Chains A and B, each alone.
Chain A
């Protein structure tokens, strides 16, 4: 019997709220199927199944807050016993993303210094009617201290009102429920970048690259294409970064438990600013194997799903290096913050027109400044410098596009 557990979808995720089951008991599922939608601080994420077989039992219900690693469902046949739903430490085994190697460690939070805080186990969860839960939440009364008088000890509305009158011992304040998703996402980002800066010794190397010829070629190509088939310069940047990462294995992978594991493939994280605030960095899977048109299609798909809140769990955790671009206009350079457990982030400034020496003559040219933030535990200036050289070669190669 496989235990399908709440995956960790980010270095600082502690729990998620199950918002939708896309499977039912008795359904047959395959590895990689999207089986549920979980609301996290970073929005709704579709989570995939890493077992194949028949769904024997759904252990969590919609609306429930489930700690990372706690069982959600039993899937597949086998001899493993049904998990004991007791208050023991929550199992920390996050499922492995499909075909991602090396497999991530069971807990991506090992990078951080803060130990995981297990949430209440499922069996521990106090049983209460929805109305009672709503009232308790409104009055910030902790259900744990209340004795239920409903059937089988279920807490009913009247119990909450009595607890409020009694005050003191039984009722103690709990943090207010999250009300502002934007503020929650900002908190998640704050926690992740603070952890990154606390644990990863960043260093930075920059290179300014003449992109005029590449931009001209792109414009010529797009002039012949219908809007649906047009390419963005961002796709060229992502592809060049993926190809450079493949050539520089010490910058592509995960650093977990004091060990760096280079990844055999490049899953290129793409930092996407969400309209209205917030930032996510899902990965374009196997970006080093994609042509330019495929890269563009993958980016388009990823951006639209990020905005719609329909990213997949594997995309949130599989990134092996991340690219963050300022876009068409803005500052000329950006030294970014590495997304743990990765060890490098490619920061791309907005294109600028600058005087540039071309064949001994000074000309106005479009240039970009690329700044690689790298983890000094794994890399030195030499590797970072080699990455920037490879990036420039791929970006300015006449074959691209």
Chain B
């Protein structure tokens, strides 16, 4: 999976969790909680969706790694190997 594909899939799942977000307007450094206003339930739902989609289990201690597109895409890419 290329980084572009991961990025598209991540945005896809993000919009499923928070349908009011326009994926075109999400900047690479937008923080899921501080900028996009996801709450802890949204983050858990996103982590669950990423687990289902990529088979990547993001541990609670690693939630910071997926807080922005800029950090999430390489993190998932690395986990996918």
Is B5 part of the contact surface with A, judged by Cβ < 8 Å?
A: no
Q: In terms of DSSP, what is the predominant structure of the interface of chain A?
A: helix
Contact B37 A275 (CB under 8 A): yes
Min CB gap A220→B, angstroms: 10
Is B76 part of the contact surface with A, judged by Cβ < 8 Å?
A: no
Is B24 part of the contact surface with A, judged by Cβ < 8 Å?
A: no
Closest A residue to B34 by beta carbon equals: A329
Contact A234 B60 (CB under 8 A): no
Given contacts A226-B51, A230-B44, A275-B20, contact A327 B39 (CB under 8 A): yes
Min CB gap A223→B, angstroms: 6
Contact A232 B51 (CB under 8 A): no
Contact A223 B59 (CB under 8 A): yes
Min CB gap A226→B, angstroms: 7
Is A303 part of the contact surface with B, judged by Cβ < 8 Å?
A: yes
Contact A232 B41 (CB under 8 A): yes
Closest A residue to B18 by beta carbon equals: A275
Interface residue count on the B side (C-beta < 8 Å): 18
With most chain B CB atoms within 10 A of its CB, the pick from A219, A222, A227, A304 is A227
Contact B51 A222 (CB under 8 A): no
Contact B60 A219 (CB under 8 A): yes
Residues of B within 8 A of A327 (CB): 39-40
Q: Contact size class for A?
A: 20 to 34
CA–CA, A223 and B59, complex, Å:
7
Closest A residue to B39 by beta carbon equals: A327
Min CB gap B72→A, angstroms: 15
Contact A328 B41 (CB under 8 A): no
Residues of B within 8 A of A273 (CB): 39
Min CB gap A87→B, angstroms: 42
CA–CA, A87 and B57, complex, Å:
62
Q: Which of B30-63 contact A (CB under 8 A)?
A: 33, 37, 39-41, 44-45, 47-48, 50-51, 57-61
Min CB gap B81→A, angstroms: 20
CA–CA, A275 and B15, complex, Å:
12
Residues of A within 8 A of B44 (CB): 227, 230, 232
| Contact mask for chain A residues 302-332; partner B; CB cutoff 8 A; 1 contact, 0 none | 0110000000000000000000000111000
Min CB gap A357→B, angstroms: 28
Contact B33 A228 (CB under 8 A): no
Residues of B within 8 A of A222 (CB): 60
Is A260 part of the contact surface with B, judged by Cβ < 8 Å?
A: no
CA–CA, A227 and B37, complex, Å:
20
CA–CA, A328 and B47, complex, Å:
16
CA–CA, A228 and B48, complex, Å:
6
CA–CA, A352 and B37, complex, Å:
19
CA–CA, A273 and B58, complex, Å:
25
CA–CA, A184 and B20, complex, Å:
18
Q: Which of A289-305 contact B (CB under 8 A)?
A: 299-300, 303-304
Closest A residue to B59 by beta carbon equals: A223
Residues of B within 8 A of A329 (CB): 33
Residues of A within 8 A of B58 (CB): 227
Contact B57 A303 (CB under 8 A): no
Which of B20, B37, B60 lies in contact with A223, CB distance below 8 A? B60
A-B contact pairs, 20 of them (CB 8 A): A219-B60, A223-B59, A226-B51, A227-B44, A227-B48, A227-B50, A227-B57, A228-B51, A230-B47, A232-B40, A232-B41, A232-B44, A233-B40, A234-B41, A275-B18, A275-B20, A299-B41, A303-B41, A304-B45, A327-B39
8 further contact pairs, Cβ within 8 A, besides A222-B60, A228-B51, A300-B41: A223-B59, A227-B47, A227-B48, A227-B57, A227-B58, A230-B60, A273-B39, A275-B18
B binding-site residues for A, Cβ under 8 Å? 18, 20, 33, 37, 39-41, 44-45, 47-48, 50-51, 57-61
Closest 5 CB pairs of A and B: A227-B48, A227-B47, A227-B51, A276-B20, A222-B60
